[in-house]
Amino acid sequence: MFDMAPPASEMNLCNIHTHTNAEHKGPDFSIFVDGTDHGGYACNASADLTEAERAPADGAFHNVKPGDTIEVHWVHTSCEATPGEGLGACVPESCENPLLRVEAQVFLVVNDANALDFTSMA
């Protein structure tokens, strides 16, 4: 049995990471990719992107490219922690019985100067 985590606003952001494709099926991301670690589900609108929206973009982030579906996880902890690499940043040795909250959002990556600025979502 686990206690419910408090709202994210009452916790410390300890990690932000992405997954290629959505980990679970949802109404707007239900195209099954495969069952591997990098499989999951792609956005339904992927097939509807224009050539311009799929064109390679300047400033690419790792292996993410236009047309990809990504899932972003914002991980919060009840511990005194600062953002760091890996989920270990969320459970420092000085903290016993941490409560964790993961908030997630699925995105369809497009090459569009008018699209949502991902960097403004932290």
Q: How far apart are CA 102 and CA 22, in angstroms?
A: 14
Residue 44 has pLDDT above 60, yes or no: yes
User: In 5-106, which residue ranges form alpha helices assigned H by DSSP?
Assistant: 51-54
Residue 51 within any structural domain of the chain:
yes
Residue 21 within any structural domain of the chain:
yes
Q: How far apart are CA 47 and CA 65, in angstroms?
A: 14
Q: How far apart are CA 23 and CA 34, in angstroms?
A: 11
Residue 71 within any structural domain of the chain:
yes
Query: What domain count does the chain have?
Result: 1
Report pLDDT digits (tens) over 10-32. 999 999 999 999 999 999 999 99
Residue range(s) defining the domain that contains residue 28: 8-121
- To the nearest whole percent, how much of the chain has pLDDT over 70? 91
pLDDT of residue 67: 94
Residue 91 has pLDDT above 90, yes or no: yes
* Residue 89 or residue 113, greater confidence: 89
Residue 2 within any structural domain of the chain:
no
pLDDT category at 61 given cuts 50, 70, 90 is low
- pTM for this entry: 0.84
**Structure tokens, 27:** 């109404």
pLDDT of residue 112: 86
